[in-house]
Amino acid sequence: MKKRQFSLCTRLVGGFLATSAVFAAAAGLFFWGAMHVAQRRSALASAEDAAPVIVIDAGHGGEDGGASGADGTLEKNLNLSVAEILAQLLEAAGYDVRMTRTDDRMLYDRYGDLTDYTGHRKTYDLRNRLRFAGEADAALFVSIHMNKFPQEKYSGLQVYYAAAEGSRAVADAVQNTVKTYLQPDNDRQTKQAGSAIYLLNRIDIPAVMIECGFLSNDAELQRLKDAEYRRALALCITCAIAECMG
Q: How many residues does the chain have?
A: 246
Strand partners of residue 141:
55, 207
CA distance 76 to 90: 21
CA distance 159 to 181: 16
Among 132, 120, 244, 118, CA closest to 177: 244
SS3 51: coil
pTM: 0.86
SS3 190: coil
pLDDT attached to residue 31: 55
For residue 102, the 8-state DSSP code is S
Distances, alpha carbon 164 to alpha carbons 91, 141, 193, 199, 228, in Å: 24, 11, 11, 12, 33
Cβ–Cβ < 8 Å for 78, 230? yes
SS3 159: strand
Digit-by-digit pLDDT tens for the chain (246 residues) are 334 444 545 544 544 544 444 455 445 545 544 554 455 455 445 545 789 999 999 999 999 999 999 999 999 999 999 999 999 999 988 899 999 999 999 999 999 999 999 999 999 999 999 999 999 999 999 999 999 999 999 999 999 999 999 999 999 999 999 999 999 999 999 999 999 999 999 999 999 999 999 999 999 999 999 999 999 999 999 999 998 987
